[in-house]
Amino acid sequence: MARNLPPFPALRAFEAAARHESFTAAANELHVTHGAISRQVAAFEIWLGVQVFQRRGKRVRLTDDGRRYLSTVQAAFDSIALATDQLRDTGVIQVLRVSALPTFAMKWLLPRLHQFQRKVPNVELRLSTSNAPVETLDSFDVAVRRGPAHWPNCVSGHFLGESEVPVCSPALLQRLPIHSADDLARHVLLHSDTRPDAWSHWLTAAGVNVRCRKKQSFDHFYLALQAAVDGLGVALGPLPMLADELASGRLVMPLPGPRVDARGYWWVARREVAHAPLVALFCEWLQTQGDQTAQTKTGDLPDAR
């Protein structure tokens, strides 16, 4: 059965014009005239029987139908481009440079990377960990940072939320039980230089006086979490990052809450490579993994009550 596909030149004109929301920019990208793009889009709308652009003088904006259609068309174009690259470069290793936050890389990204490698063979993923601002990085294709924030000359998207709740080792909890947030006064609170205000925000949300607390600080967040596993004190554990530690019993949640929302995770791609098939596919994979994580019920995680 023949597929009911639109004329490819018109589809290509639509995708470029929709991505830029500008016929002029689309014409420059495709090396044709503004009139050629306008005629292709008009013919495309007649063929579809649906208006995909709203025209206001010299400006154009996507309609809701056009925006939904663009998402599908871009995904199809990305798949075609990636398949073409793989066909032309069979056996050639493609390089993807990813800069991720250290704790995120260890607790969330690394346990899932094998799925991406199976999905996209012949890719050398060069993963580096850093807390440095994106604009100071020497070279990267995709970075993972907490946001939202302003990332110059980049395209970005939120893909994973996070909330924080106190966590500690079962042995520590057995020695010094925690029945309410006030009981934290007897414990060492483990802090991280990369999240200096986390405990202050949580204690305020719990309605507890934040003064006169025992504390121990670490330069990296993952060290504070390891210190909690080793029984040195109570850390603020990020959900869903600590799902494995909680499920295995290496850490427990002595209190059910409050679970304080923290800054979520965003993928950040350099604008000049953001639409490269491999970069787009990795960002799409992060988005899918984030959605799957969000569907997991963190309320089902074990606590120590």
DSSP 165-198: EEEB-HHHHHHS--SSGGGGGGSEEEEETTSTTH
| Residue whose token pair is 């089902």 | 300
Instruction: Decide if 8-88 and 162-262 have a common fold.
Output: no
Q: Is the pLDDT of residue 159 over 90?
A: yes
Contact 105, 142 (CB under 8 A): no
Q: Is the pLDDT of residue 296 over 70?
A: no
Smallest Cα–Cα separation from 290: which of 97, 109, 125? 109
Beta bridge partners of 126: 97
Q: How confident is the model at residue 160 (pLDDT cuts 50, 70, 90)?
A: very high
- pLDDT for 253 equals 93
**Which CATH number among 1.10.3720.10, 1.20.58.110, 1.10.10.10, 2.60.40.10 corresponds to the domain 8-88?**
1.10.10.10
Give the global pTM. Answer: 0.64
Q: Is the pLDDT of residue 269 over 90?
A: yes
Q: How confident is the model at residue 110 (pLDDT cuts 50, 70, 90)?
A: very high
CATH number of 94-159+264-292: 3.40.190.10
Q: Is the pLDDT of residue 97 over 90?
A: yes
Residue type, 80: I
- pLDDT for 193 equals 86
Q: Is the pLDDT of residue 130 over 70?
A: yes
The stretch 292-298 carries a mean pLDDT of 69
Contact 241, 108 (CB under 8 A): yes
Q: How confident is the model at residue 254 (pLDDT cuts 50, 70, 90)?
A: very high
Contact 202, 255 (CB under 8 A): no
- pLDDT for 89 equals 57
Residue type, 72: T
Smallest Cα–Cα separation from 22: which of 71, 53, 59? 59
- pLDDT for 10 equals 87
Q: Is the pLDDT of residue 6 over 90?
A: no
Fold type of domain 162-262: D-Maltodextrin-Binding Protein; domain 2 (3.40.190)
Domain ranges for the chain, please list them: 8-88, 94-159+264-292, 162-262
Q: Is the pLDDT of residue 299 over 60?
A: no
Q: Is the pLDDT of residue 281 over 80?
A: yes
